[in-house]
Amino acid sequence: AYVIYTSGSTGRPKGVSMPHGVMVALLDWQRRHGASRETAKTLQFTPLSFDVSFQEIFSTWIGGGILQLITDDQRRDAGALLEVLEREQVERLFLPFVALRQLAEVGEERKLAPSALAEVITAGEQLQVTPKVASWFERLGECRLENQYGPSETHVGTAYRLEGPPSSWPRLPAIGRPVEGSWALVLDAEGEPAPLGVAGELFLGGACVARGYLDRPALTAERFQPDPSSGVAGARVYCTGDRVRWTSAGQLEFLGRTDQQVKIRGFRVEP
C-alpha cells in the first residue's frame, strides 16, 4: 500500500513497507469503530510524510465523506484552524498532541468550540489531558476524544476512547486495547509475560504488522520476529521498544521507551 520512512534509533532512515491487507483491516475497523458518522467531513491536517495521513484520507473516502483541505499557514495557526473548523463544519479531526494542546489553549482563550466537531483522534506522541484540554472538551459538549497508539511499523496497534466528563479524565490516558484483528504481549527482561501492573516491552502481532523494512533484511529480522502463536505462514510480531504495563481494567498504559529515544512532534530522536 505504501512505504514510509522513519529514522528510529540509528538515525538512518528506513522504509516501512505496509501491505494492503494491514490498511484494509485498519480502515474497516475505523469505519465501524468511529464515533462520527461514516460520511463525516474530515480535516486533512497531517503531512503525507506521516502514516496518519493515509488513515485520515482513506478512512474518509471509503465512507463517502468529504476531506477538507487547508493551507500550511492555517495548519500552523491554531486560531485560523479553529475558524476553518467552524466555517466548514468539520466533524472529524486527527491531531498529534502538540497541535491538540495549541488548539485547546486558543479555543479556551477565545471561547471557541467548533459546533460540528464530533470526534478528535490523537496519535504520534503521549496524550496529556491538560486543564485547557479538559475544559475545551467540556465546551465542545458531545465531541469524543480517542487516543490511538502505534509506531510506523504497525500504524494503529491499540486505541483508547476517553469516557465520562472531561473533568474526570486521567492526566495521562492509557493507550488502550489492541484494535480488532491485532494482539499485544508485554514481556519482561527475561522474555516472559509480565504480570498485571508490571512494566515490560510491548510486542504487537496480528493484522497491524507491516511487512518489514524495505531492502533491510537484517534489521527486519531483528525487529520483526516470528509469531509462534499464529498458524499463518510467515506471521511475525513487531518489537516496539516501548515500555508498557497492563492495568486492572485491561488497558495498556504507556511508560516510555526501553532505550533513550524521545518523541518530538511525532519524530523519534536520540537525546
Structural element, H or E, at residue 89 = none
* Nearby residues of 176 by Cβ (< 8 Å), 6 or more positions away: 147, 148, 149, 158, 159, 160, 161, 251, 252
Structural element, H or E, at residue 101 = helix 97-110
Residue whose grid cell is 503531512? 47
Task: Look at 39 and 57; give whichever has higher pLDDT.
Answer: 57
Q: Would you kindly state where each structural domain of the chain is located, as residue ranges?
A: 2-269
Q: What is the model's pTM?
A: 0.91
pLDDT, residue 10, reads 61
Q: In the structure, what pLDDT confidence band is assigned to residue 8 with cuts at 50, 70 and 90?
A: low
CATH topology of domain 2-269: Rossmann fold (3.40.50)
> Rounded to whole angstroms, how far apart are CA atoms 56 and 73?
20
- Tens of pLDDT along 59-105? 999 999 999 999 999 999 999 999 999 999 999 999 999 999 999 99
> Rounded to whole angstroms, how far apart are CA atoms 126 and 124?
7
> Rounded to whole angstroms, how far apart are CA atoms 54 and 4?
11
**Mean pLDDT, all residues of the chain:** 92
- Tens of pLDDT along 135-182? 999 999 999 999 999 999 999 999 999 999 999 999 999 999 999 999
- Tens of pLDDT along 211-241? 999 999 999 999 999 987 777 777 899 999 9
